[in-house]
Each structure stands twice: as structure tokens, then as C-alpha cells.
Chains A and B, each alone.
Chain A
Amino acid sequence: MPLDLDNSSTASGEASISSSGNQNPPPKSIAKKKRNLPGMPDPDAEVIALSPKTLMATNRFVCEICQKGFQRDQNLQLHRRGHNLPWKLRQRSNKEVKKRVYVCPESTCVHHHPSRALGDLTGIKKHFCRKHGEKKWKCDKCAKKYAVQSDWKAHSKVCGSREYKCDCGALFARRDSFITHRAFCDVLTEATVKVQGQPENQNQPEVNPKSESHPKAQAADSYSAPPPPPPPSAAATAVVPAPVSAPPALTQSASVLSSSILPGSGKLIYESKKLPETSTQFVEETKATPAAAATATAGLNGSCSCSSSSSSSGSTSSCVFASLFASSTASRSLQPSHTAVFTEVITTTTRADRTVDLASSSATDPISLCLSTNNGSSLFGTGGQERRQYAQPSQPSISATALLQKAAQMGATASNASLLRGLGLGIVPSSSSPSQQDNMHWCHGQLESETASFLPGLGLGLPSGGGSGLKELMMGPPPGFVPKQTTLDFLGLGMAAGGTPLSALIPSIGNGLDMATSPYGGGEISGNDIGSSS
């Protein structure tokens, strides 16, 4: 995508302004050369504040005969001469005309202040229009918009001439960018299919100012008679068996390559285009009967054993859930540490089955959320291709599970009144960890059965927003709207959302207890409630 160049284009008009931040008047010799240095007006110039309407007005001076409008009175006067009307041109140099500077009417603008006034009327008009006006001049060829007509005209002259346009509509200022985009854009794939193997660059809509590629590419065409570009259907599968269309001299090595690849070495070769269809089929299947799809996937992955064990747990959603993990576990067996993690998650899920009944009814439930999101397509997207399995489809669900446990944990610790516990770091009796975990699952269940939106607010200093809130909690805040304590609260250092000053470190620890409830009005769920539930 081309970057929005609006800033640069407007900036170019005002580059001199931004560079004139200091208000010390420059030496006179320089000041003479430059035209009306903006932002450093003559101290005894007359400051003029025009209304927005005046600034935006075009052709304020209208001829009463023909209604023709002019931007300047002088021009109208000249025009009036043609109608034989009385006219009057202002005389030049009736000794030292009082210098005028113009301020911007927009009170938030830096040029609102007389010390940063602009030196000429056209300047202030353009400034106001560019910065505070509507961009109503739109380029036909690209998406750029301009507020000032002359900017638009200037752009229109060059638009397209130095840009590359893909059939999908994307524009590129640079050839490299265009080439890279072009290679991966679906337009190319479709075009190639349509043309049935014709070299694509013959009807390629590439705009190339240097026009270097066309002549050569066509020259190459004539050369390339011996190895005709294979038709797409053939080419799609060509790589796997033996490249039939390859030049004879190369056939051997090529086929050799292919055959050396094929036998069970786990090597993947680009195959055919049937895959997308298969994948959509899979997605549909998933939507219709999750359980069936789950077993199907598991079957594909060759990890039926895992899925069967989990499918006996009864709940449909957890069955899918678990078998997803099962499959990724299987494919991850290269990495023991990962496997351990995933196994852990599987057991967690299975144990959490008790709560699933409660949870699955609510739409914001993290588990069902994870299953119903577009993970479906990415997970099943490539059918049986093994590489795909490496993608971790389990991400959102892990974080959700972990979050719930974390939330429960924090609630539990928050009920203790010691200093550190106030910080959310209370010690959980480690001796009871197995049962502890069980408790947490119960907590987790209860939390789910309550309104889901309360979760993020649970002492985590986050705006509560259901599922998205969960996500933000795990990922850290998107810039802009999250209270800045978030990271800290991520650890559970209980700070009230108001932002307790550090000097109040010790005293505020008492307040730390409030964190669970006060900022977001968790309402009925207090730290104590949760604590007692564990």
C-alpha cells in the first residue's frame, strides 16, 4: 500500500514555517531575500485576522454586469474596464504601505498567535485550506485528496507517471514494491489462469517509466520458443512428477531433484491448486459439526489416539479443543518443551470440563470463542498438508485459560491483607498445589458463569470489554486508550486505576485491595468473594 503522502505534500508548502521555530528575526540581508518569512513577522506589521469564511471565499470580487468573480479587487477593476465601467487601480507605492501579516482563525493552530503570523494573504489562505479545510479535490487516478486546488493540479500532473499500478488497484511509487506486490497478488494468479499459460508480461498493465522490462521481456519471448511456458494446469503439478515442459538438457536434473524429494523424506513440494477447495470444504464442515471436523482433523494428523481420549469427555466444544491441541502436540514432538506445555493445556482443558456446560452457553466464553473464530480457516485451511500444523492454532485459547486462572489466583491473593499481597503477589500455599489448581478451575468456572464482561475488570486495571478485553490483557494494551498502569497490573501490582503516586507507595497498598472492585465497578464480585471461592 502506498503511504499516505498528504502530510508530506502539505508539509512542503509549509516547510519554511516549521523550520522557523525560533522567533529571533534573522539578519536583514537574509530577510530581504526571502519572501515574507512566515512565523517571523515584522514586529510592527499590522496583524490581520480574517474570518474562516473570508479565507475560504474564492472570487470575492464579483462584476455586477456579468457576475464573473475575481479573487482580487485589482483584477476586478481591470475587468470593469472591459465593460466601460469606472475603474480604479490602486496606485503603487503611496509611500511605505503598512506591512500586513495574517493570523489563522483556528485557535488551536500555531499560526493563531500573532508571533507566528503568516506574511501574505495567499499563504494564509492556503494554510487554512490545507490544514483546517475540507479536502475536496480528489485525484481520479489514486486515492489522494487535496484541499487546495493547485496542490491537486500539481499532483494530477505527476500521478501515474511515476507510479506503478496493479490490477487490484494498489499503487506503488517504487518498482521493487510493485514487483513484490505483483508476485503475491491474486490478480496475477487469476490472470495467468485466464491467459492459459501465455507469458503474462505481454498484457501486463505495468506502467514503467523507464520502460526497461518490456522490450527485453518480449525479446526473451522470442528466444524462449524451445521451452514454452507450461500451461498452468500442467505447471501446477509439473514440479512433482517430472517437469515435462522443461528443456531436454535440464529434464534429467530436474526430475532427479523431484524424485529425490518425493520418497518420504518429509519434503514438501508445491503441488496443485486443488487445495483451496479442500480447505473451504473443511471450514464448512467445521461449522456444521465441530465434533466431526475435529475427528476428521485428528485423523488427518494421524493423532487419533489423542483425540479419542479427549472426545470421551463428553462436551462437544472441549472435544474439538482438545483434539486441536492433540494434533499440534503430535506435530511438535520435535520440541519436548513445547510438547510439555501443550500437554499441560490439554489436561487443563479436560479438567475444566465441569465448567464447560456453564460456559458454552455464553457467547463470550473464551473457549468457544477460540473455536469459533477464524482460526477455523487457518487451521483447516490447507487440508492435510503437514506444515500447516505447525502454526499454533491454540494461541487465543491458551491465553484465555491462563488468564482465567490468573484472574482467579489474583482474586484469591487479593483477599489477604499483607503488604505484598496488596501488590497482588501474595503467597499461595505451595504445598497444596494440585488441589489449588483444581480450585482454580472451579473459580474459573464460576467466573465464566457470571457476566463475562466482569472478567477483565478483575483487578487488572483494564477496560472491561468481554473477549477483546481478555485479549488486550494478554497482549498488553494497544497504544492510545489503555490506562498506563496496564503493564504493571499485568503482574498484579495492584494499582488503582487512578494511578497511585509512588510517594504513597506504602500507604496505597491498602488501596491495592480495592483494585479488584473500584475502578471498573466489578459490582457484586469483590476480592473477598473470589477469595472465598478458592
Chain B
Amino acid sequence: MMQFTETLPQPLHQITSFPNLFTMNKNQIQRTTTTRPWPAGFPTSKSLGNFGDTNCMEQLLVHCANAIESNDATLAQQILWVLNNIAPPDGDSNQRLTCAFLRALIARAVKSGTCKMLAAMGAAINAQYYSCNHLAVDNHKFSVIELASYVDLTPWHRFGFAAANAAVLEAVEGYSVIHIVDLSLTHCMQIPTLIDAISTRLESPPLSPRLKLTVAGTIEDIPPMLDLSYEELGSKLVNFARSRNISLDFTVIPSSHADGFNSLIEQIRMQHLVYPETSGEALVINCQMMLHHIPEDQTISSNNPYSFVESASDLRSLFLKSLRSLDPTIVILVDEDADLTSNNLVCRLKSAFNYLWIPYDTVDTFLPRGSKQRQWYEADICWKIENVIAHEGLQRVERLEPKSRWVQRMRNANFRGVNFGEEAVSEVKTMLDEHAAGWGLKKEEDDLVLTWKGHNAVFASAWLPA
């Protein structure tokens, strides 16, 4: 760490010389701020630790983004340089956060080719650049065992699992056939606990219930990535269910978020149409951090299969409406509570910066520095940041929406929210007790919200057809 103590004074020095640097480009800055305004009083998170530094980093990132967007390569270079000095990739959590944004901005600058200087470099090899930037973050392909323990490290996913399991159990009581449509980012990692819960807690039917599990075989590689095919994964689940005395049918339907999981919905609809007895099943739609991949921007989804519909709404709302038309027994919607949908890069950057500090901040509580898992974990956040910052259009899949907007969408799609029962709340609380002290649980109306140091991280909601 000698190196660290030696280099530490440098950033300070550089920050002090920073105003000079900016006066050089004063006109430039003023121009960009007037042409590209952003919310002036954007709330900065209080628990971002070293307040001044974080603010400074955020401001630098904003300036940099503006410079890139306005083709000012010189200014962009200079800010990138400063940022690079104050945000080493092995620094504290805020420095690492900033570093990830820095990389994402570089990727954007190179890829977009909006900067003339960078365009020269990027033009000839633009295509390769895109892909190499896409790969700049090395996202680990998890073995299924690795993924299981990875998901287990933090409440980030387990929160949704625990809440969903409890709510589903309550909803499917009395049904002998349960059809679970699992739209989950984490490749069925929730299913074993659900199977287990069903096998141990559902007693009413004399025959053990029959489970059908349908998953969307997405073709996009979105972290966390699994190195196992869904068929093999399915065989493991079938095996496990059998060991719990439950018969499980496992089905993969290749479908993509890009068209709102169209083929998946249609497939289920077909089953219901052609075989009316399937309507006697409990249909559980379990959406865990996957729906935010569905395009919410009308300009993107204009060529979607629903375009014949008088499109007053976007693909995301249409998806929810088509879900509603399946008349599900219950819909679980769990997602990250942030707004990353803005078309304005700076807005998005600020929003992401003020949300994604959470995963960086939490990591110290469950993974030691330098551990493999930690590298995987942070690489996956990096991927997210890069996706938000460097990509546009269909490639930008990290389109988080805040809970309030999801609630509105669900209501518009004719769902009504239901309470999580006492059971669910106590399950979640027990689960949180097993993790670091910073995690908390909040009840907001019908929904549950996972918080970190008081800030909303993930929300869970349950919905019935209204």
C-alpha cells in the first residue's frame, strides 16, 4: 500500500489546479449547460460517505458526459484524466463506482463516435470497438453452484425470492396444478426454495401438487450469466423436485425481452385456448428483475409485433396488459427501485450514480477484497453501468423504473395490488437478519421495499387481476 500513500497527494493537487483547467473551457461549459440543462437540485445521496468527494466525482462525471455529448474531445480528455486520478479501480467504494462510470463514458465516447477526435480513432474499427467495449468488463460465466452461492451472498435477490415464495404459497393454496412462469434474472435460483416450500408447507391436496415451470430462454447475455444450458438446469430442477416428491415439468420457451416476451405469452395463451382444463391451474407469473429489460421507449418499440395496436402505450405496458389477459392467479413483480429510463445521458448518469453506489457500498459486508466472487460481483455492476451509459436503443436494456411508475403501469393494466401477509414479512425479516446490519425492510402501501442504510434498493409487489 506504499504506492497508495505516495500517490494520494496527487489527486488533491490536481483538484486544486482543476479550476484553471476549466476556465480554459469556460465558454464551452456555459454553452453546454445552457443547451443541455439538467435538474439543478438533483438530490445527492447523503450516505455516499465522503460527501464532498462524491459530489465532486459526480460533477466531474456530469461535465465529462456533457463534453462527450457536445463533441468537446479536449475537455472530455482532461476530465477523464482527472477522474482517472481520483478514482482508482481499487479505491474505496465511491472511487470504484466512479471508475466504473469513467469506463462507461470512455466506452460511449469511443463507440458513439460523436467526438471528432475519438471518431477518427474509432471509425475504422467501429464495429470491433463496439464489441470490445462490450467486453471491456469481463463478466464471469457462473457454474450453477457458483451462481447459487453468489445469489446467496446478499439480500439483493433473496429479498425478492423470500417475499415471492411466501406470497405464491398463499395464493396457490388448494390448487393441484401450479404453473409457474419464471421471468427471473438469476436463472431459476429461486425455484428450489419454492419447490421446497411447496413440498413442506402445502398439505391440503391429498396428492402432492404438480408443478409446471416455464422459463424464458433469452438469447441475450445479461449478467449474471450461467455456463449451463437451460435444459441441463431444468433436469437438475426436475430431479430435485422428484426428491421432494413433486413432479415437475420444465419448459423453456425461447423469447426475448426485446419484443416483450411475445412468444412466451403467446405460447401460454395457446395452451389456455386449446386446453381449457389448464384454466384450472394456478398460474403464477414471477417477475424478478427482468421486466425492466422490456423497452419502455416508444421509439424503440415502434417495430414491435403489437404495433398494429393503437399504440397509446409502449411495449412495457402492452406486455403487462397481455399478462393480464392470461388471467394469472398472482403476479409477483420485483425490481430495482431507480429510474434509468431518461433519454438524457446526464440525467441517466446522475440517476445511476445515485443508485448504484448501493451495491458497491454493500460489498464490503459480504465479500473480502480481492476475492474472486467480489470481482464477479463488481464486474456485473460495471456491466450495468456501461449498459446505462454507453448504449442506446435496444442495446440499452438496463431500463429501471421506480416503483411508483411500475405500480401505475400495473394498475393501468387492470391489476390490483395485494398485501404481503405476515408470513411474507416475517420470512423477509428472518432473511435480512442473516445479513449485514445496513439492510432494512420497509412497507410502502402494499409493497415491501428492501433498503440499504435507509435508501430504497429493491421493491417487491404482488398483484391480482382486478
Residues of A within 8 A of B (CB): 1, 3-4, 173-174, 176-177, 179-185, 188-189, 191-192, 197, 199-201, 204, 212-213, 216-217, 220-221, 223-224, 226-227, 229-230, 232, 235-236, 239, 243, 245-247, 250, 252-254, 256-258, 260-261, 265-271, 273, 275, 331-332, 334-335, 337, 340-341, 344-345, 348, 378, 381-382, 385, 387-388, 390-392, 395, 398-399, 401-403, 405-406, 409, 413, 420, 423, 425-428, 430, 433, 436-437, 440, 471, 474-480, 482, 484-488, 490-493, 495, 499, 501-503, 505
Contact = CB atoms under 8 A, between A and B. Distances in A.
Contacts of A348: 128
Given A334-B219, A385-B231, A430-B123, A475 B106 contact: no
Given A243-B247, A487-B84, A488-B84, A502 B124 contact: no
29 contacts: A1-B149, A176-B431, A184-B144, A189-B235, A192-B239, A199-B243, A217-B199, A224-B208, A227-B247, A254-B210, A257-B249, A257-B278, A258-B249, A267-B252, A267-B253, A269-B231, A270-B234, A275-B231, A337-B394, A345-B128, A398-B128, A399-B132, A426-B121, A475-B138, A482-B89, A484-B85, A490-B103, A491-B77, A505-B78
Contacts of B238: 235, 239, 270
B9 to A, nearest CB: 9
Q: Which 7 A-B pairs have the closest CB atoms?
A: A200-B243, A183-B192, A502-B14, A402-B132, A344-B127, A479-B90, A475-B138
Contact of A176 (B141, B193, B200, B270): B193
Interface of B: 7, 10, 13-14, 17-18, 21, 73-74, 77-78, 80-82, 84-85, 88-90, 96, 99, 102-103, 106, 109-110, 117-118, 120-121, 123-125, 127-132, 135-138, 141, 144-145, 148-149, 151-153, 158, 161-162, 176-177, 189, 191-193, 195-196, 199-200, 203, 206-208, 210, 212, 217, 219, 221, 227, 229-240, 242-245, 247, 249-254, 256, 258, 263, 267, 270-271, 274-275, 277-278, 281, 366, 368-370, 375, 379, 382, 394-395, 431, 434
B121 A236 contact: no
Contacts of B196: 179, 213
Given A387-B219, A478-B375, 16 more contacts: A177-B148, A180-B189, A183-B191, A243-B247, A257-B251, A257-B275, A267-B267, A268-B230, A270-B251, A385-B229, A475-B135, A479-B375, A488-B81, A495-B81, A499-B85, A505-B21
Contacts of B234: 270
A180 B395 contact: no
Given A224-B245, A257-B249, A266 B207 contact: no
A436 B132 contact: no
A484 B89 contact: yes
A1 B366 CA distance: 12
A347 B57 CA distance: 41
A229 B152 CA distance: 30
Contacts of A239: 238, 249-251
Determine the main DSSP class of A at the interface with B.
helix
Nearest to A398: B131
B193 A180 contact: yes
Contacts of B109: 491
A75 to B, nearest CB: 41
B252 A268 contact: yes
Determine the main DSSP class of B at the interface with A.
helix
